[in-house]
Structure 1
Amino acid sequence: MLDTNVLLQDPLAIYAFEDHEVIIPAVVLEEVDSKKRNMDEIGRNARYVARMIDDLREKGKLHLGVPLSNGGSFRVELNHRSFGKMKNYFFESSNDNRILAVALNMSIEEEERDSGVKVTLVSKDALLRVKADALGIHVEDFLSDRVVQYDRMYAGYSEITLSPKILDQLYEKRKLSLSHFGFSNVYPNQFFIARDETNLSRSALAMVSTDSKYVQLLVYKEDTIWGIRPRNVQQKMAIELLNRDDIPLVTLAGKAGTGKTLLSLAAGLYQTEELQKYKKLLVARPVVPVGKDIGFLPGEKDEKLRPWMQPIYDNLEFLFNAKKPGELEQILAGMGSIEVEALTYIRGRSIPDQFIIIDEAQNLTKHEVKTILTRVGEGSKIVLMGDPKQIDHPYLDEYTNGLTYVTERLKHLSETGHMKFEKGERSSLAQMAADLL
């Protein structure tokens, strides 16, 4: 039995239970109906659920049950609504309690039957699961939409030890076949911090080729990029990804202050302004507030966006060494090739020949991140970055956000590269806060 929030988070949840019978109480239909006019991800999912259930009507009467393509069945439960068995515990006639009543009455009925089956209530609502457990209802969280826990997220690199002979060959030839390393499961563009097994202070930075046939030393040799020098090994590997033309999709994950935004902007400016590989540098971020929203903002679109985009402007001021009021605006107006935008307006666009940076990508849903990636045109490079531990979106967590989703689902492709930053470089205070708070 599915709670409303399961369907609103994953409209295809009814197909996630293989050959089981999937049931939704009638009150769930009412809750889905109340969300269908929302102009956000929840509203989109509600409308999708409504159309999907409507299509199932062609297979038969929904209150009697219809077969699903995965071998299971689907039914809308109209009965078992009595509050008699739970009125002494939860007497308020809320929608959550109505769902609990149906689950409780069905559980009791199935237990009394000789051939009864176990009834499991599936909900994303933690308090509903607590109430269900108190009533003796078997209840579970919905886990099928989870990609991976952040701590187990693909890091983009590994540390290995090599014999001095192989390390010497790697330095001499600059690339070696994978057979020299004995790897069985590697991803394209995966990095290795290779250390000499007899002298751990001697090491090399290498990465798997895009065709996963050999390991090569890093191609990008410059020490600085737009005046920015990498401060740690993860930053150096990230610069390699950001400057590679054959890797059009880069994902960067890490705590606050690890340098994700600054490095990406530096790489974008370098390739757009100096090398002129791209016509424009487009920087965007989702409009999701931290804490309570301050409401409507005055002014034209650019004035409204300025508070949301201020973190981007802070980094640009540092990169251009702009210290006087209005100096950055004059620089950007003179260049004309840098565009700072909100993701609200990306639907329907086609973005060719641009270096695209999407900041705070952990606040994007799976659908939103798919929408963004399908906007990328020929000759463009896109960078998604964020911290899956700092999510402000009310319906996302570290398991289900768009950044984690893209990283895990596309890590096997030669067109993608990923780097997980570990060390903060903003300040010792910022690093301490990120680690201890």
Structure 2
Amino acid sequence: MGKIYVLDTNVLLQDPYSIFSFEDNEVVIPAVVLEEVDSKKRYMDEIGRNARQVSKLIDGFREIGKLHEKIPLHNGGFLRIELNHRSFHELQEIFVEKTNDNRILAVAKNLSLEEQTKENGRTVILVSKDTLVRVKADAIGLTAEDFLNDRVVEMDHIYNGLQEFFVPKEVLDRFYEKGSLPATDITNKPFYPNEFVILKDALGGSSSAIAIVDKSGSIVKKLVFDQEHIWGIKPRNVQQTMAMEILLRSDLPLVSLIGKAGTGKTLLALAAGLMQTEDLGQYKKLLVARPIVPVGKDIGYLPGEKEEKLRPWMQPIFDNLEYLFNTKKPGELDAILAGMSSIEVEALTYIRGRSIPDQFIIIDEAQNLTKHEVKTILTRVGDRSKIVLMGDPEQIDHPYLDEYNNGLTYVVEKFKDQSIAGHIKLIKGERSGLAQLAANIL
């Protein structure tokens, strides 16, 4: 006996192809959901793009049959646009206002009551990304679920790029002597390419070593850039040392860094980028960009030219540049950047359609990107370029993203077994004692 899944608008706006995620069951889209999707299709952002995609998908189903009847899907399921069951009679004493959310609840509840009268009635499940809609559904005796098919990883299993092992003292000595070890000398479990390893004395001695797995995943070797000063910046902890290693590796065109506020992601990436662009000449330009997603209420339109409009959004980048250039006076950093044409600070709004060769690219706050947006960015990267994606998956300001389905987590999980990518999770905050305490307890 199959099930009936009633989809909320936010499920379709998060993933237009969610229609095909319910196997051989029946998918019901209430008419009010189509109205909400229609109201979003004019938006010039990811939500608008998904709304237009949903519209095209549903329009294509008209060639198969009538939308208010069951239309077969290629996965064995069925799709139906629900025009009936809109009566608010069952809910009018519980929810006074006839909001769109309550209308969707009414459709699901009426379908459920109808199925209960049948001998082999099916279970009706409301699928919504909205927590309060699921709470309301539970309050009226309706089964409700979150849409989890878009998650690339289960809870608490995001790849952190690091493993720790306790090994015999002779293994540590052999590693120091030869500079490398077969991975099988440490564990029989497979490693990912470019994964970091911390080796500690199994007997509790003070000996330890930091290593990195080679591209084949079979050899564990010493770091190349261990404890180097980069533009006056020296790694303060183990994870920062690991981050500097992959940031300076020219054979890793993709690097991802995740960590809480104050762990040094932006500062380390900028220092590595400046060194390789200005000092070594490995790249023609350092491009720094971040998505424009406000924290709290949007401040609206900003006056001035493009650079003046971008300044408030890009200020965290400029704060780090002021530290690296050791500027003291107002306007001093602007004068330095004006004389250095190789540094460009940009909003991600302007990256679509570009081809970016020979550049060191830093994408800050990448956790606010969707899967589609991060794909758009990575497909812009040209020959001999290196891109660094960084952010904190626990600090997301996008309404339809969470820790497990955002673009940054998506890249980390999809590229963890690729030899061209490196990743590390930064744990210890180095901004200040207050910042570290706030990140941990708030």
TM-score range, shorter chain: over 0.9
Tell me which residue corresponds to 1:217: 222
Query: Mind listing any 5+ residue stretches in structure 2 that lack a counterpart?
Result: 1-5
Which of 29, 33, 45 is the matching residue for 1:24?
Answer: 29
Alpha-carbon distance between aligned partners in 2 of 1:150 and 1:298, rounded to the nearest angstrom: 42
Map 1:147-162; keep pairs closer than 5 Å.
Answer: 147-148=152-153, 151-162=156-167
Map 1:23-102; keep pairs closer than 5 Å.
Answer: 23-102=28-107
Return 99-108 or 264-273, whichever deviates more: 99-108
Map 1:155-174; keep pairs closer than 5 Å.
Answer: 155-174=160-179
Return 168-177 or 274-283, whichever deviates more: 168-177
Tell me which residue corresponds to 1:231: 236
Alpha-carbon distance between aligned partners in 2 of 1:431 and 1:149, rounded to the nearest angstrom: 26
Tell me which residue corresponds to 2:349: 344
**Secondary structure of the structure 2 residue equivalent to 1:379:** coil
Tell me which residue corresponds to 2:413: 408
CA contact (8 A) 1:150 1:404 kept: no
How far residue 148 of structure 1 moved from its aligned partner, in angstroms, is: 3.1
Alpha-carbon distance between aligned partners in 2 of 1:71 and 1:188, rounded to the nearest angstrom: 38
Map 1:168-187; keep pairs closer than 5 Å.
Answer: 168-187=173-192
Q: TM-score, normalised by structure 2?
A: 0.96
Instruction: Write the deviation string for residues 222-245 of structure 1: whole angstroms up to 9, x where unpaired.
Output: 521111110000000000000111
CA contact (8 A) 1:249 1:383 kept: yes
Alpha-carbon distance between aligned partners in 1 of 2:29 and 2:297, rounded to the nearest angstrom: 34
How far residue 149 of structure 1 moved from its aligned partner, in angstroms, is: 5.7
Which of 246, 269, 272 is the matching residue for 1:267?
Answer: 272
**Number of equivalenced pairs:** 437
**Secondary structure of the structure 2 residue equivalent to 1:59:** coil
Alpha-carbon distance between aligned partners in 2 of 1:174 and 1:51, rounded to the nearest angstrom: 57
Tell me which residue corresponds to 1:385: 390
Alpha-carbon distance between aligned partners in 1 of 2:56 and 2:89, rounded to the nearest angstrom: 34
Percent pairwise identity: 68
How far residue 419 of structure 1 moved from its aligned partner, in angstroms, is: 0.8
Alpha-carbon distance between aligned partners in 1 of 2:193 and 2:108, rounded to the nearest angstrom: 48
Q: 1:427 to 1:233 in 2, by over 3 A?
A: same
Matched, 1:309 2:314: yes
**Aligned AA for 2:249?**
R
**Aligned AA for 2:76?**
G
Return 291-300 or 364-373, whichever deviates more: 291-300
How far residue 79 of structure 1 moved from its aligned partner, in angstroms, is: 1.4
Instruction: Write the deviation string for residues 337-356 of structure 1: whole angstroms up to 9, x where unpaired.
Output: 00000001001000001000
Tell me which residue corresponds to 1:359: 364
Tell me which residue corresponds to 1:321: 326
Tell me which residue corresponds to 1:138: 143
Tell me which residue corresponds to 1:374: 379
Return 78-87 or 2-11, whichever deviates more: 78-87
How far residue 332 of structure 1 moved from its aligned partner, in angstroms, is: 1.4
Map 1:324-335; keep pairs closer than 5 Å.
Answer: 324-335=329-340
Q: Aligned Cα RMSD in Å?
A: 1.3
Matched, 1:423 2:428: yes
CA contact (8 A) 2:356 2:385 kept: yes
CA contact (8 A) 1:228 1:263 kept: yes
Alpha-carbon distance between aligned partners in 1 of 2:61 and 2:370, rounded to the nearest angstrom: 26
Tell me which residue corresponds to 1:298: 303
Which of 285, 290, 293 is the matching residue for 1:288?
Answer: 293
**Secondary structure of the structure 2 residue equivalent to 1:119:** strand
Alpha-carbon distance between aligned partners in 2 of 1:297 and 1:77, rounded to the nearest angstrom: 43
Q: 1:95 to 1:61 in 2, by over 3 A?
A: same
**Aligned AA for 2:18?**
A
**Aligned AA for 1:210?**
K
How far residue 265 of structure 1 moved from its aligned partner, in angstroms, is: 0.3
**Aligned AA for 1:35?**
K
**Secondary structure of the structure 1 residue equivalent to 2:16:** coil
Tell me which residue corresponds to 1:120: 125
Which of 196, 200, 205 is the matching residue for 1:195?
Answer: 200
Map 1:230-249; keep pairs closer than 5 Å.
Answer: 230-249=235-254
Instruction: Write the deviation string for residues 239-259 of structure 1: whole angstroms up to 9, x where unpaired.
Output: 000011111111111111110
Instruction: Write the deviation string for residues 9-29 of structure 1: whole angstroms up to 9, x where unpaired.
Output: 111111111111111111111
**Aligned AA for 2:83?**
L
Tell me which residue corresponds to 1:396: 401
Q: TM-score, normalised by structure 1?
A: 0.97
**Aligned AA for 2:187?**
G
Matched, 1:106 2:123: no
Matched, 1:15 2:15: no
Instruction: Write the deviation string for residues 310-351 of structure 1: whole angstroms up to 9, x where unpaired.
Output: 111111111111112222122212221000000010010000
CA contact (8 A) 2:226 2:241 kept: no
Return 353-362 or 213-222, whichever deviates more: 213-222
Q: 1:150 to 1:299 in 2, by over 3 A?
A: farther
How far residue 391 of structure 1 moved from its aligned partner, in angstroms, is: 1.6
Instruction: Write the deviation string for residues 207-231 of structure 1: whole angstroms up to 9, x where unpaired.
Output: 1111212111112245211111100
